């Protein structure tokens, strides 16, 4: 989890844009942890949540999210956030409960191989 908390704002948004194999509330919880660790400005929090399908979480989970975000927003920001989310939900866009997987940990994004073992095809085939 520590490496996730250290990713940049842009990388977080890109990850959220891709299809993740996770329930939206799990994505929301991880995002709240990233926000707590990075303390971004309100405008960035708005942007982050444009990438999350909040229409698929329960009303109780949504209310809990609002309480958690209230420490980062002014009351005006919070009202604006709620209106923005309501507009997104009223747009008629439906999302699937689960997302699909796409690898976004690539070298061009700064990902590094931590440990690897180079083997020939024959060696790999012996382990099958």
Range scoring the smallest mean pLDDT among 24-33, 61-70, 77-86, 106-115:
106-115
Question: Cβ(19)–Cβ(99) under 8 Å?
Answer: yes
Q: What is the pLDDT of residues 19-71, one digit of tens each?
A: 678 888 899 999 999 999 999 998 899 889 888 888 888 889 988 988 988 88
Question: Cβ(16)–Cβ(51) under 8 Å?
Answer: yes
Our count of domains for the chain comes to 1
Task: Residue 96: give the domain boundaries.
Answer: 2-126
């Amino acid at each position: 989890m520590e490496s996730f908390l250290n990713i940049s704002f842009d990388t977080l948004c890109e990850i959220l844009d891709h299809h993740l194999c996770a329930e939206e509330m799990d994505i929301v919880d991880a995002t709240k942890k990233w926000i707590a660790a990075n303390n971004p400005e309100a405008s960035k929090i708005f942007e982050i949540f444009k990438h999350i399908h909040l229409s698929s979480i329960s009303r109780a989970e949504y209310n809990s999210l609002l309480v958690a975000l209230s420490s980062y927003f002014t009351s005006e920001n919070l009202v604006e956030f709620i209106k923005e989310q309501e507009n997104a939900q009223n747009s008629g866009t439906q999302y699937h409960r689960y997302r699909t997987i796409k690898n976004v940990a690539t070298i061009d994004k700064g990902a590094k191989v931590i440990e690897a073992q180079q083997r020939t095809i024959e060696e790999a085939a012996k382990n099958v």
